[in-house]
Amino acid sequence: MTTRLLQNLRIVDPSQSMDETGSILIVDGKIAAIGAAVGNKDIPAGCETEDYVGLIAVPGLVDACVHIGEPGAEHRETIASASRAAAKGGVTSIIMMPDTEPMIDDVALVDFVQRLARDEAIVHVYPAAALTKGLKGEEMTEFGLLLEAGAVWLCNGRHTVGNPAVMRRAMTYARDFGAVVAVATQDRHLSATGVMNEGLYASWLGLSGIPREAEIIPLERDLRLAALTRSRYHAMSISVPESAEIIRVAKAKGLSVTAGISINHLTLNETDIGEYRTFFRLSPPLRTEDDRRAMVAALADGAIDIIVSAHDPQDVDTKRLPFGDAENGAIGLETLLAAALRLYHSGDVELMRLVDAMSTRPAQILGLDAGTLKVGARADIALIDPEYPWVLSKDDIASKSKNSAFEDARFTGKVLQTLVAGATVYHA
């Protein structure tokens, strides 16, 4: 029997509304006791005891949107390198998007990812399966077989399903399996030539814009189909207040609808693009400061359920280009929590809600054994110093790709240790 006692921590666990100073007893990789009431009588003889005055313990983060290059583009990111980046950011469970090469649209690929993750990853890696074959939006995949093999939800990667009949059929079949349909909401025709948010700033830069309607129209359509089919639907990354309001109304009607947002859209705005900095070319595009503040409010009141990193590694060949020619995307696993703490320090979002949005709530939506420090749960834990000042240096990035929107950014708050099943997988 292996035992560890983490003492004198502030414990923040939304799954049991716990915010108190106390201890965490870990026995054989699981939480055996937690809280202020943990006493000497609970501690087995020979237990390894560690003192963490000043640190905060939260359930390990669950990142529901992580793009990985493997298989097919291992030069950008492998499952192993992504897992190391995740551990460095306090993320203990990652949901791997299906847009690899080949795409994860059959059972063999789900099995491949699981075996590779088991052998090489230091955090939990869960594959999402393609909603349609080749992510083309035309022909559904074998939902039952994919879910039985271990896929945690059905997703169409970066692509919106253009054909409403296909989307309706997919939602209907997914409902019968109790599965979540998770979809990006960017109309490919309305956003086809755009490279940033449509508006005055895009005009100043001389860049083509993407209207907010490119997000709103497919979202409204999908929610009507979700109402028609009574299916479980998740909008993967919304970025404008109108979308949050649409989600809010759908929830009020009793639909099984949830929404996510990337940490980029909560902490950055379109002016960060500055002099055509391609690390800020994202999909959906960064919006205005008024939009950002409205989305922070929507996160705080629960209209938006979860925060994701939208980790999307790109190499020099695809990112060091003129802004209009560069690929979308930025890495984010290592900075997810640190960036989110900006909202805590600014007083915009309570720490309990932030942890809920990055850990407990995504685990609940996906039905994972994660996002909680309840007795009996797997001891996936992030230990944080909320006042630790640091600067993100390109040389310190664990990801194989270095395209971070937070390069050289100053943060207050850092993950100092990450535990997976009670074992330390990262130590600053």
pLDDT digit of tens for each residue in the chain (428 aa)?
899 999 999 999 999 999 999 999 999 999 999 999 887 777 888 888 999 999 999 999 999 999 999 999 999 999 999 999 999 999 999 999 999 999 999 999 999 999 999 999 999 999 999 999 999 999 999 999 999 999 999 999 888 999 999 999 999 999 999 999 999 999 999 998 899 999 999 999 999 999 999 999 999 999 999 999 999 999 999 999 999 999 999 999 999 999 999 999 999 999 999 999 999 999 999 999 999 999 999 999 999 999 999 999 998 889 889 999 999 999 999 999 999 999 999 999 999 999 999 999 999 999 999 999 999 999 999 999 999 999 999 999 999 999 999 999 999 999 999 999 999 999 99
Distance CA 372, CA 112 (A): 28
Same domain for 24 and 98? no
What is the pLDDT, as a whole number, of residue 32? Answer: 95
Helix then strand then coil, in percent of the chain rounded to 5, is: 35, 25, 40
Same domain for 43 and 67? no
Q: Answer with the one of 371, 394, 413 that is the final residue of a domain.
A: 371
Domain housing 269:
60-371
Distance CA 332, CA 403 (A): 9
Query: How many Cβ atoms sit within 10 Å of the Cβ of residue 313?
Result: 29
Residue 287 CA: distances (Å) to CA of 80, 212, 248, 351: 33, 9, 20, 24
Phi, psi for residue 322 in degrees, rounded to 5: -55, 145
What is the pLDDT, as a whole number, of residue 47? Answer: 87
Q: Answer with the one of 335, 353, 371 that is the final residue of a domain.
A: 371
Same domain for 148 and 126? yes
Q: What is the CATH number of the domain that holds 205?
A: 3.20.20.140
What is the pLDDT, as a whole number, of residue 333? Answer: 98
Structure tokens at 43: 């501690």
Same domain for 84 and 24? no
Same domain for 79 and 29? no
Number of domains in the chain: 2
Same domain for 169 and 189? yes
CB of 371 closer than 8 Å to CB of 364 = yes
Same domain for 312 and 416? no
Distance CA 246, CA 241 (A): 9
Q: Answer with the one of 323, 352, 371 that is the final residue of a domain.
A: 371
User: pTM for the full model?
Assistant: 0.96
Bridge partners (DSSP) listed for residue 209: 196
What is the pLDDT, as a whole number, of residue 230? Answer: 97
Same domain for 49 and 116? no
CB of 360 closer than 8 Å to CB of 14 = yes
Same domain for 297 and 387? no
Q: What is the CATH number of the domain that holds 388?
A: 2.30.40.10
Same domain for 325 and 351? yes
Distance CA 184, CA 159 (A): 6
The identity of residue 328, as a single letter, is: N
The identity of residue 31, as a single letter, is: I
Distance CA 339, CA 91 (A): 13
Same domain for 82 and 218? yes
CB of 401 closer than 8 Å to CB of 315 = yes
Same domain for 173 and 190? yes
Bridge partners (DSSP) listed for residue 224: none
Q: Is 376 exposed, middle or buried (0-12, 13-18, 19+ CB in 10 A)?
A: exposed
